[in-house]
Amino acid sequence: MEFWTGKRVTVTGGAGFLGSFVVDKLRARGCREIFIPRSREYNLVEMESVKRLYSDARPDMVIHLAARVGGIGANQANPGKFFYDNAMMGSQVIEQGRLHGVKKFVVIGTVCSYPKMTPVPFKEEDLWNGYPEETNAPYGLAKKMLLVQSQSYREQYGFNSIYLVPVNLYGPRDNFDLDTSHVIPALINKCLDAKEHGKPEIVCWGDGTPTREFIYVEDCAEAIALAAERYDKADPVNIGTGKEISIKELARLIAELVGFKGDIVWDIAKPNGQPRRCLDVSRAQKLFGFIAATGFRDGLQKTIDWYISNRGQTSEVRSQ
């Protein structure tokens, strides 16, 4: 609690999916001076907006969560925008943080930065051993460049910047828009719609064989808060659960929890994405004591319950 007392913390993307939970964690720890820049007021792709942000917020710490994100379809439709927006936001916010004397900078990367054929479980040392999976490579590479910037700024300027690599997130407040959402909210949306309208089937992308690891959003927010308090080194750190599930199994589980009893049809003309994703999470436990607390089935049920209670609200591309 004392760590956060009197600290001015800026959380970019703090009004988004993950960011809103990070802000909750900071407030629960006693942090009272939290600045949450909104995109309509601070376009972080533009340098002048970034400079104005620092002038207005005068932060001691920055947690950079703002990102242009989406599922496979959104990445395929916007590779240039996903690369440019994420690279420019991150590099400019870090550079201005250095120039303004920020005492600590927390960069949030992405599991999409890992090479397509990374051995399972993914170890942080494997980040540079190949090219990312093609459908989200521009996004993954833009975020990985922030690791290079973080480490090089530490080496040259003594800038205390850390880099965290969360696996796929899910939970309440996620984006459930089928055009931009990730797999869990998309499946929940499809299964509920089919159940309520008596549809005999839902159609899912790919063949269902890829595996994914998921972390409940509140657990990820706890990991970020712990790292901000306790970790001050250059090496990237995975944030996850260390457990994977196939997309086919995931679809069946969500259908069961929602109560959809129809067929699940696989559209093999659509891409699978990366074959497997599962992280080695030992470094996070060792360096700042993080272990995910939420069981996957329980987390899914909480997510479904939240969506049922909050449908009809406007969806938007969230910050990761």
Q: Is residue 61 part of a domain?
A: yes
Mean pLDDT along residues 122-142: 96
**Per-position b or e across 23-40, b if 16+ CB within 10 A of its CB:** bebbeeeebebbbbbebe
User: What is the reported pLDDT for 313?
Assistant: 65
In the structure, what pLDDT confidence band is assigned to residue 318 with cuts at 50, 70 and 90? very low
- 4 pLDDT above the threshold of 90: yes
Q: Is residue 230 part of a domain?
A: yes
Q: Is residue 271 part of a domain?
A: no
Q: What is the mean pLDDT of the chain?
A: 95
Q: Is residue 144 part of a domain?
A: yes
pLDDT tens by residue, 169-182:
999 999 999 888 88
Residue 71's domain spans which residues?
2-170+213-242+276-294
∠ CA(212), CA(320), CA(69), 5° rounding? Answer: 80
Q: Is residue 235 part of a domain?
A: yes
For the chain, percent of residues with pLDDT exceeding 70? 98
pLDDT tens by residue, 65-103:
999 988 888 889 999 999 999 999 999 999 999 999 999
Model confidence, pTM? 0.94
The catalytic residues are: 139
Q: Is residue 206 part of a domain?
A: no
pLDDT tens by residue, 98-114:
999 999 999 999 999 99
- 227 pLDDT above the threshold of 70: yes
Q: Which CATH number do you get for residue 43?
A: 3.40.50.720
For the chain, percent of residues with pLDDT exceeding 90? 91
User: What is the reported pLDDT for 70?
Assistant: 83
- 46 pLDDT above the threshold of 90: yes
User: What is the reported pLDDT for 122?
Assistant: 98
User: What is the reported pLDDT for 319?
Assistant: 36
pLDDT tens by residue, 161-216:
999 999 999 999 999 998 888 899 999 999 999 999 999 999 999 999 999 999 99
User: What is the reported pLDDT for 1?
Assistant: 73
User: What is the reported pLDDT for 315?
Assistant: 42
Q: Is residue 56 part of a domain?
A: yes
Q: Is residue 176 part of a domain?
A: no
Count the domains in the chain. Answer: 1
